[in-house]
Every structure is written in structure tokens, then in C-alpha cells.
Amino acid sequence: MSRVLSTEQAKTAIRQMQSVINGGFTDQIGQLDAQGRILSDPNVWDGPLAAQFRGSTWPETKAALDKAKAELEQLRTQLDRISHDIFTAGGGA
């Protein structure tokens, strides 16, 4: 038989993680994306460093941000399921 344990500390940690994710972290990633798109427009910002930003810096950063956002969405889903299971099992108040 496998051990099932849900301490108050675990419940608090789950709630805090959910709060960070739901509290705007993914929105902030979206805001970074919007500003990156603005800076990628040569009509807004141009020159050698701007071209480097458009050509490599921003595409690499955007890919990392998109991946982080997707992983946060997966984490949110897992936390919701874990939290639901804990409270359904009678571990929550």
C-alpha cells in the first residue's frame, strides 16, 4: 500500500503556488511578449543592436517564455487536480 500524506504545509504550498500562477505571472509573460513585438518592429527601433534583438535575442527569449507559459499552465492543471484530490479525501478545511 502506498503512503498518502497531506500536511497543512503541503496544502499551504499548493495554495501559494496557485496564487503566484493565477496572480498574474502568466499575464506578465504576455506583457513581455507584447513589448518584445513592439521592439521587433524596425519602424519603432532600428540599428545594429535592434537588428540583433529582432534576429536572435527576441526569438530565443520568446520561445523560452512560450515554453514557460505552457509549463505553468500544466502546473496549474496538476495543482488543481492535486488540490481537489486532497480536499475530496477529507484533507482540507
Average pLDDT over residues 79-86: 83
| pLDDT tens column, 23-37 | 888 889 989 999 999
Q: Which H or E element spans position 55?
A: none
What pTM, to 2 d.p., does this model score?
0.76
* Selection from 11, 24, 17, 9 nearest residue 77 by Cα: 17
Q: Which has the closest alpha carbon to 87: 21, 22, 10? A: 10
Question: What's the average model confidence in pLDDT over 44-72?
Answer: 96
- Residue 91 pLDDT greater than 70, yes or no: no
Residue 92 has pLDDT above 50, yes or no: no
pLDDT at 88: 75
